[in-house]
Amino acid sequence: MAPPRSRLLAALLVLYACTVPPPATAAAANVPITTCRSFCGNITVDYPFAQHPGCGHAGLRDLLFCINGALMLHLPSGSYRVLDVDYAYRGLTLHDPAMSDCRALDRTPGGRGNGFVLEPWREPYLAPDPDNVFLLLGCRATSPLFQGFPDRHLPCRNVSGMGCGDYLACPAWDDYYDAGGRRAPGGDDAAGAPPECCALPWAAIRAVNVSRLECEGYSSAYSLAPVRAAGGAAGWAYGIRASWTLPESNRGFCGACRATGGACGHDMESHADLCLCGDWNSTSNCDSSADAAPSAGAAAHSPDAIAAVRWAILASGLTSLWWQYASRSNLW
Ligand SMILES: *[C@@H]1O[C@H](CO)[C@@H](O)[C@H](O)[C@H]1NC(C)=O
Ligand SMILES: *[C@@H]1O[C@H](CO)[C@@H](O)[C@H](O)[C@H]1NC(C)=O
Ligand SMILES: *[C@@H]1O[C@H](CO)[C@@H](O)[C@H](O)[C@H]1NC(C)=O
Ligand SMILES: *[C@@H]1O[C@H](CO)[C@@H](O)[C@H](O)[C@H]1NC(C)=O
């Protein structure tokens, strides 16, 4: 009867042969869906977003963080609570606790609220929606907003039916004027004072930096439906609606990667698209071992190197098995 150790070894070898695909062919990966997908509270974080480094699209890297069950979006201008991620419409709904709404103004002479400022490299991938209105409050006459416009507030306008006319009718302003607010609504008088409120779409400024624009605060609203709710600005949804855009080429890349069992990600140094195939990465998909990306670590991780290691383990196992049989059978 064979000693237990060699029977165990034989069993392990059989198991190994059964579970490991033949090393000569590049097998499609079957990367668990949880490799890059995660949850924060009741929000799913999935491609093109991710909380794991190397997952998701590079244009949206280092963006979402789960803090005490709240999903937060971090930008140079500050942190925003993510209320919803709509993967079908590629939309994000954000909330900035430091912004004014219809019930309360939040403003200080030095500027209050984060506004919305993106890193220049992220601009092609993320932007507030064209239907989102930014309402800049209490901006000084010297504000860059009013420079270059002989008519002073030429840039201010309604966005998707939302504008300062309705916003200035909010209850928040009653409290403000009761408390000795600076100017009367529409205080665009002979003194040439700038308007108390200036509404703009994102495309008009491309960076809402409240202090640089010399404003005291801001609000932001978006329309949920094409037809406006009655009740003016009290019926608006306050927050920031942003959407993401990926390069056209990404769709095909990511589709092929997933179809071969991989997870879409990116190279953490070059930021190029990368298909994560489990123990190796591909610049195309998990069926093309010829496109293996240079390994991130020092150790060899290409499919060929892995195959070589597997063969070496198999060979050493067989050798030791043979050696045990040989010594027990007194072949020497
Ligand atoms: C998450 O839960 C909150 C209440 O806890 C709810 O208001 C919100 O709509 C939920 N969001 C999603 C995306 O299900
Ligand atoms: C594959 O890419 C991911 C993301 O860039 C990285 O974390 C991982 O270490 C890479 N794996 C290998 C084997 O190089
Ligand atoms: C906003 O503007 C101020 C003043 O110009 C500047 O110091 C600050 O860095 C800007 N913030 C961002 C996030 O760009
Ligand atoms: C903006 O909307 C308000 C209220 O609907 C309207 O009275 C005003 O004329 C509009 N302003 C412009 C410039 O369209």
Ligand nearest to the CA of 209: 3
Q: Give the pairing of strands 91-95 and 64-67.
A: unpaired
Name residue, tokens 């509404």.
Answer: 199
Assess whether 306 and 184 both reside in one domain.
Answer: no
Ligand 4 touching residue 197 (CB < 6 A): no
Secondary structure class of 213 (helix, strand, coil): coil
pLDDT tier for residue 274 given thresholds of 50, 70 and 90: very high
pLDDT of residue 290: 83
Task: Answer yes or no: are the C-beta atoms of 94 and 165 closer than 8 Å.
Answer: no
Q: Is the peptide bond before 171 cis (omega within 30 degrees of 0)?
A: no
Assess whether 306 and 238 both reside in one domain.
Answer: no
Ligand 1 touching residue 131 (CB < 6 A): no
Assess whether 151 and 275 both reside in one domain.
Answer: no
The reply to whether the predicted model has a pTM over 0.75 is yes
Sheet holding 91-95, edge to edge: 64-67, 70-75, 78-86, 91-95, 240-244, 126-128
The DSSP result for 37-74, as a single string, is -EEETTEEE-TT--SSTTBS-GGGTT-EEEETTEEEEE
Separation CA 43–CA 82 (nearest Å):
9
pLDDT in tens, 69-125: 999 999 999 999 999 999 999 999 999 999 999 999 999 888 788 899 999 999 999
Residue where a domain stops, chosen among 202, 221, 244: 244
Q: With DSSP H G I counted as helix, E B as strand and the rest as coil, what are the percentages for the chain, rounded to 5?
A: 25, 20, 50
Q: How many CB atoms neighbour CB 148 within 10 A?
A: 8
- Residue at 267: amino acid letter: D
Q: Ligand 4 centre from 157 Cα, in Å?
A: 8
Residue 86 lies in a domain: no
Task: Taking the CA atoms of 212, 214, 216 and 220 in sequence, report the sign of the dihedral they define.
Answer: negative
Separation CA 23–CA 40 (nearest Å):
39
Query: How many domains is the chain partitioned into structurally?
Result: 2
Q: Tokens for 32?
A: 């668990």
Q: Ligand 3 centre from 138 Cα, in Å?
A: 18
Assess whether 126 and 158 both reside in one domain.
Answer: yes
Assess whether 149 and 22 both reside in one domain.
Answer: no
pLDDT at position 289 over 70: yes
pLDDT tier for residue 23 given thresholds of 50, 70 and 90: very low
Listed residue (181, 215, 179, 213) closest to 197, CA to CA: 215
Residue 12 lies in a domain: yes
Residue 89 lies in a domain: no
Assess whether 118 and 253 both reside in one domain.
Answer: no
Task: Answer yes or no: are the C-beta atoms of 173 and 105 closer than 8 Å.
Answer: yes
Q: Ligand 4 centre from 78 Cα, in Å?
A: 31
Assess whether 196 and 294 both reside in one domain.
Answer: no
Residue 10 lies in a domain: yes
Ligand 3 touching residue 206 (CB < 6 A): no
Give the residue whose CA is nearest to atom 13 of ligand 3: 77
Residue 213 lies in a domain: yes
Residue 85 lies in a domain: no
* CA angle in degrees (0–180, nearest 5) for 232-133-110: 105
Assess whether 101 and 237 both reside in one domain.
Answer: yes
Instruction: List phi, psi (to 5°) of 85.
Output: -120, 115
Residue 170 lies in a domain: yes
Ligand 3 touching residue 28 (CB < 6 A): no
Residue 211, domain extent: 96-244
Ligand 4 touching residue 158 (CB < 6 A): yes
pLDDT tier for residue 320 given thresholds of 50, 70 and 90: low
Residue where a domain stops, chosen among 244, 271, 298: 244
Q: Ligand 1 centre from 238 Cα, in Å?
A: 16
Residue where a domain stops, chosen among 185, 209, 244: 244
Assess whether 263 and 234 both reside in one domain.
Answer: no
Burial class (CB in 10 A: 0-12, 13-18, 19+), 224: middle
Assess whether 230 and 290 both reside in one domain.
Answer: no
Give the residue whose CA is nearest to atom 7 of ligand 1: 83
pLDDT at position 249 over 60: yes
Give the residue whose CA is nearest to atom 3 of ligand 1: 42
Assess whether 22 and 117 both reside in one domain.
Answer: no
pLDDT in tens, 30-58: 888 889 999 999 999 999 999 999 999 99
Separation CA 82–CA 222 (nearest Å):
15
Ligand 4 touching residue 157 (CB < 6 A): yes
Ligand nearest to the CA of 230: 4
Instruction: List phi, psi (to 5°) of 35.
Output: -55, -45
Q: Give the pairing of strands 38-40 and 43-45.
A: antiparallel
Q: Tokens for 2?
A: 């064979």
Q: Give the pairing of strands 91-95 and 240-244.
A: antiparallel
pLDDT in tens, 67-80: 999 999 999 999 99
Residue 128 lies in a domain: yes
Listed residue (312, 310, 324, 308) closest to 9, CA to CA: 324
Assess whether 252 and 238 both reside in one domain.
Answer: no
Q: Ligand 1 centre from 6 Cα, in Å?
A: 57
pLDDT at position 134 over 70: yes
